[in-house]
Chains A and B, each alone.
Chain A
Amino acid sequence: MEKNHFRRFARRYVQLLAAVLYNCNFKGFATGRIWQGSTKGVCVPGLNCYSCPGAVAACPLGSLQTALLSSKYKFPYYVLGTFLLLGLFLGRFICGFFCPFGFLQELLHKIPTPKIQKSSVTRILSYLKYGVLLIFVIAVPLTTLAPGFCKYLCPAGTLEAGIPLVLLQEKLRALTGALFTWKVAVLIVILLACIFCFRAFCRFLCPLGAIYSFFNPISFFGIKVDQTKCIHCDACVRHCKMDVKKVCDRECIQCGECISHCPAEAIHYGISNEEQKAKVKRIVRIALLMLLIAFLVMGVHSNGFQDLKNKAIRICYECMGIG
């Protein structure tokens, strides 16, 4: 009984623990003050606004945007190294297990309503997130000196930081305007969409998922298919709620749903299988691994940890829709 319960809800427990771990500054929710400890010098893997009163670490996407903002004065080795580390080792396994906003979307999808099934339209829409990444995360910070995604779109920032801080701090209430209203509207639309469409934000808009998706085929850890056992029945793809064409492609969040539907027991979690197309993958992995080590060493050497902490211990007004 206990074993079955754990089997059924194992991923939920990990998601819940990750959400609590990222936001364990419980005192902050009562006082409206954000955490200013040293842990803010480290990025969590999932989307979690560092201006959230509970957040004890930095958001990778927010960190990337602020790093790009000042990149002409200091190259963001540390943040880019962190992305390489997370992507190369876990890929979109992070989306399936360590993202609090993904967890929230899955819970919303449990509300019993008619559901929108995946189709060729949703598959096309899944490319939207690459546009969001290019425009809002890269182009806008570099050209207009604003963290574009945080400022105009990020629903996690509005939910975790904007709304709680505006409620808790009177002086911030006076600063809210049209941008805050826009961000709340975006949040409401996204949350409503998630009730009808499985992980709508992750599938169509999330630029963090877009970044991790590039690493999915080469990540060291994740879902693997044993080709010797696979009977090519496509049960895995049919039962998957994401817009995947095959297991562990760019859209796969490695939730493990396909494992229970595979009649041949050919799918499992594990370390990368070097037998498949090993040569190219191995070269890419080694190159990225070397780059990651170089970036992290240079990042730490150039005070990257302290820089990130100094950013993340301050409220990002734009993330909240102010300014």
Chain B
Amino acid sequence: MKRYRLIKAICVALTAAMLACGVSGCAGDDKMTQTQEKEAGAATKQEMKEAAEQDGASVQEAESGAALESSSEETKKDRSPDRANATLKEGKVKVLEEGDVAPDFTATLADGSIFTLSDHDDDVVLLNFFATWCGPCMREMPAFEMLKADGLDGVAILCVDCMEEKKTVDALVKEKGYTFPIAYDEEGVIENYYPTDGIPYTLVINKGVVAKVYLGAMDAETQYKEYKGAIDECLAK
């Protein structure tokens, strides 16, 4: 009899836990979406405000996408409204696709310098999201070092660590001796603009527009060839 009383108690406890988890889970989900919307919204407002300060013609050009072909100064100016919209789709953070404008961000690098995406509007940017606990991420890392060693003109590389502590990133850089730019993102602020279900997640950004998206990774050699090919393609355009 004791046995069944005990099992009954476990059933009741599990049901209660399930209900509690479901309720708090849903609340957490809403909260998370709201936070993301709020963050994205705040950025959008800021960028829209900046865009509003520019002349109306440039906004129109940006909407038509024609501005990207003009001079670099105009390109920067004209892309602002699109960049703002790039982060939002139906009130939620948008998963980026090829052809989307890459949302701007500023990151602090492990070497202490600052990286701002919009400073590289004329370049091809290889943007990678990784973590030290992610096997495929760690295995493909030498590919970025090889690309950096190639010293290609007009190409910038940035690897963003996903929500790990600075000391963990520093330990990785120290141990492996990587020289390509690695950014901290302890709070996941950059990741909020580049949402993904999984990592490694790599984007090739050509003149501010997403040209190629990679999910997952094979070994460093394969990834080097893959990224090099995509970069060469963008440089040839």
Contact = CB atoms under 8 A, between A and B. Distances in A.
A265 to B, nearest CB: 11
Contacts, number: 126
Given A317-B216, A323-B217, A323-B218, A73 B2 contact: no
A7 B11 CA distance: 13
A314 B197 contact: yes
A17 B216 contact: no
Contacts of B48: none
Interface in B11-45: 11, 14-15, 17-18, 21-22, 24-25, 28-29, 32
Contact of A269 (B2, B133, B163, B171): B2
B168 to A, nearest CB: 5
A70 interface: yes
Interface of B: 2-4, 6-8, 10-11, 14-15, 17-18, 21-22, 24-25, 28-29, 32, 131-136, 138-139, 162-165, 168, 171-172, 175, 188, 196-199, 215-218
B168 A73 contact: yes
Contact of A323 (B4, B164, B188, B216): B216
Contacts of B162: 310, 314
Interface in A32-48: 33-39
B171 to A, nearest CB: 5
Interface in A304-319: 306-307, 310-311, 314-318
Given A10-B7, A311-B133, A175 B28 contact: no
B14 A69 contact: no
B92 to A, nearest CB: 11
Given A10-B7, A18-B14, A37-B28, A316 B198 contact: yes
A69 B138 contact: yes
Contact of B11 (A17, A34, A311, A315): A17
Contact of A38 (B28, B163, B198): B28
Interface of A: 3, 6-7, 10-11, 13-14, 17-18, 20-21, 24-25, 33-39, 51, 56, 66-67, 69-70, 72-74, 97, 141, 144-147, 151, 169, 171-172, 175, 256, 259, 268-270, 303, 306-307, 310-311, 314-318, 322-323
B54 to A, nearest CB: 35
B14 A317 contact: no
Contacts of A141: 135
A145 B172 CA distance: 14
A210 B187 CA distance: 37
Contact of A37 (B11, B14, B25): B25
Of all A-B residue pairs in the complex, the 3 with the closest CB atoms, nearest first, are: A315-B198, A70-B133, A37-B28
